[in-house]
Structure 1
């Protein structure tokens, strides 16, 4: 499988300011595979140490802070060769090893010639604890589920990716490309972007194996809930997790604690929800009161929406059968278009540095699904799961904030087009969003 994060890893390797790397990502997203593949492609050899399989390795970090001595012990214990600049050292499953994470400070300061990468599930949880890591002494990188473009490459559809990458003007996509992309997108809604699930479809074409993989991943996440330091939070985390399909099935997708449990209050459940956010199993999207910078200054922290890390996992958690992808647009519109909104959000998260927000107002009711910051522009985004693309909320948003908005974006099953200041992007072109917005702004600037 081709993962685009390899380019970022190569840039890290070649950077004169390189520090030890901490690679974050949820369980089963491909952290170990990508680091080993990176080592195979770009280093003479890889020295791999798994602290879950070999807990005794932890002792080497408890008895000394001398990097050379730590490495000597690891080499002797594992029989793996370590050469500065030529060996990629991988420390895996480090989430329960604070001494290993702290040792990155000494690798950075005293042995920068060694290329070190750390990975582990629930690292977001571990790093949320005070004094868990050496501030300023490590580089961070996030690996997310496979994008739709990565899915296409894994499925042998590189020609479709090449076609989208080669587009340099905003004009309708010919049916010869539009129709297959539309069909492949349905498949992606079913598999999601977890690598093993994608593998079961792209190589084995085995729907039932793919279903089992997604069930196993969800089961592994649910077992991880028990790792919360306060055991009382475990059932609350589970209830929030199980409520997510119900939350997204509502017309107004704002997160409501009473959907989790009748009579539930925010203060009782907010720690459990924050655990899921820190673990990056869910994305929290705040309501914004105005499209101004910095976006965080206009967050309404009492109103937010919650999305799952992956659209395939959401489909499985909601117990939607894979057969739905054969029924026309049904997969896009099922339970109020929640799969489509989740798909759009998870794709936007990887393209824009600032986390997306949403905007809404009541009496009368209007809602813009997402706001993204591109450079110093804030772009409102509406998500339509069908080809019925009337956009009353986008229209209202422009009326209220006309002097702040250069472009409005709508994702739908309509073709690519720029209609005045509304850019319609077909859902299957989601990975091109940043580039297409740039092209639209340039075209409008010329007119």
Structure 2
């Protein structure tokens, strides 16, 4: 399977400012596979050390910070080879690095004393966050966030690179020929079923096995729930689990604002906020705050008491919701199921890959209006609505423009309709969400 993040790994390899690299991301998002595949493609050799499989490697980091001595011990214990005469030809991989905080700390000395070595690490974001603060080499490492596979990557894995190439080639806002539109719509439904976790994508694209894909997603969810038990404070474990299982119910509500009482009757914020923060720190969930006004920086206008909670992957959300894959064949049911929550989760994943700042959302009461997301693109705040039915009347976008007319250059709507620009209202087909930034750029040029 092809991952577009490979280009970022190549940029890191070729950078004269290269530091040891840490790949962050949720469990089973493909970090180890990426490093092994990258080594295979771009290096003559890989020296691989896994601190979970080989806990005995940890001792080499306890008595010394001398990089050369550590590497010599690791080579002797493992049989791996690091060529001293051509270090740039070997990728040194430390896997499950959260299991060895001393190795994490030693990255500082790789950066300062032996920058000629190419060192890349994979590990649980949560484990790294929970390691002792004193052990973290601040400013001495590069980070790369690994997200679930995008719809574009799903198409390439599914043998539909021609459709991915077509969307990439779109350079004006005009209707898409039916020969592309209809198949892309059908394939997006399948992506909602599989999600972007690499093993789930593989079970469908290579084996066409729905039962296997369902089992893979169940196994991943089970692995996450076992991770909840690793939280340092045992009393938070049941709270984390309750919040996690409440997410489909939270998103099924008309007003998707997170309500603690949905987690458990009588639950209060102060009892559950640590458990919720744990899920966000692990990148298993994304907290989207309500914005009180479209100002810069967007974070200055956060209402910290109101937020929506989404999951890291649309396929995991579908599986946790127990929505059967058979919905794939029922028109646009997948898109509208529990108030379009799958569509919103999918769009959020796509936007996160393209914009540096986490999106927000906006609401107004009496009568109620809600704009699903606000995105910050350079110095513009753009309102975004996600429509998953054929009715695409954008009452909330209209109200938002009335209220902030002097601040609204462009309004964006994702729907099942063709690309179109009506005055300042841009429609983007849901299946082109990966290209939102580029299409928004075209619209702003035209305006």
CA distance in 2, matches of 1:378, 1:175: 33
Q: Establish whether residue 43 from structure 1 lines up as the match of residue 46 from structure 2.
A: no
Q: What is the SS of the residue equivalent to 1:91? A: strand
CA distance in 1, matches of 2:98, 2:363: 38
Report the Cα offset of residue 4 of structure 1: 0.5
The aligned counterpart of 1:9 is 9
Q: Establish whether residue 290 from structure 1 lines up as the match of residue 263 from structure 2.
A: no
CA distance in 2, matches of 1:250, 1:126: 32
Alignment of 1:21-420 (within 5 A): 21-83=21-83, 84-123=87-126, 126=129, 130-420=133-423
Q: What is the SS of the residue equivalent to 2:241? A: helix
Report the Cα offset of residue 124 of structure 1: 6.2
On the 8 A contact 2:290/2:362 being kept in 1, the answer is yes
On the 8 A contact 2:419/2:427 being kept in 1, the answer is yes
Report the Cα offset of residue 306 of structure 1: 0.3
Partner deviation per Cα, 1:98-137 (whole Å, 9 max, x = no partner)? 1111111000000000010111124465367533411110
Q: Taking structure 1 as reference, are residues 106 and 23 closer, same or farther at Cα in structure 2, changes over 3 Å only?
A: same
CA distance in 1, matches of 2:393, 2:376: 24
Partner deviation per Cα, 1:323-371 (whole Å, 9 max, x = no partner)? 0010001010011111111111111111110111111111121110001
CA distance in 2, matches of 1:162, 1:425: 17
Structure 1 residue runs of 5 or longer lacking an equivalent are none
CA distance in 1, matches of 2:293, 2:61: 49
CA distance in 2, matches of 1:319, 1:365: 30
CA distance in 2, matches of 1:52, 1:117: 16
On the 8 A contact 2:29/2:197 being kept in 1, the answer is yes
Q: Taking structure 1 as reference, are residues 240 and 123 closer, same or farther at Cα in structure 2, changes over 3 Å only?
A: closer
CA distance in 1, matches of 2:282, 2:169: 36
1:421 to 421, 424, 444: 424
Partner deviation per Cα, 1:239-258 (whole Å, 9 max, x = no partner)? 00000000000000000000
Q: What is the SS of the residue equivalent to 1:435? A: helix
How many residue pairs were aligned?
444
Partner deviation per Cα, 1:12-60 (whole Å, 9 max, x = no partner)? 0011111000100111100000010011100111111000000000111
Q: Establish whether residue 433 from structure 1 lines up as the match of residue 433 from structure 2.
A: no
Report the Cα offset of residue 404 of structure 1: 1.2
Structure 2 residue runs of 5 or longer lacking an equivalent are none
On the 8 A contact 1:160/1:177 being kept in 2, the answer is yes
RMSD (Å) for aligned C-alpha atoms: 1.0
CA distance in 2, matches of 1:270, 1:216: 27
On the 8 A contact 2:101/2:131 being kept in 1, the answer is no
CA distance in 1, matches of 2:243, 2:180: 40
Q: Taking structure 1 as reference, are residues 246 and 129 closer, same or farther at Cα in structure 2, changes over 3 Å only?
A: farther
What's the TM-score once normalised by structure 2's chain length?
Answer: 0.98
On the 8 A contact 1:406/1:421 being kept in 2, the answer is yes
On the 8 A contact 1:126/1:132 being kept in 2, the answer is no
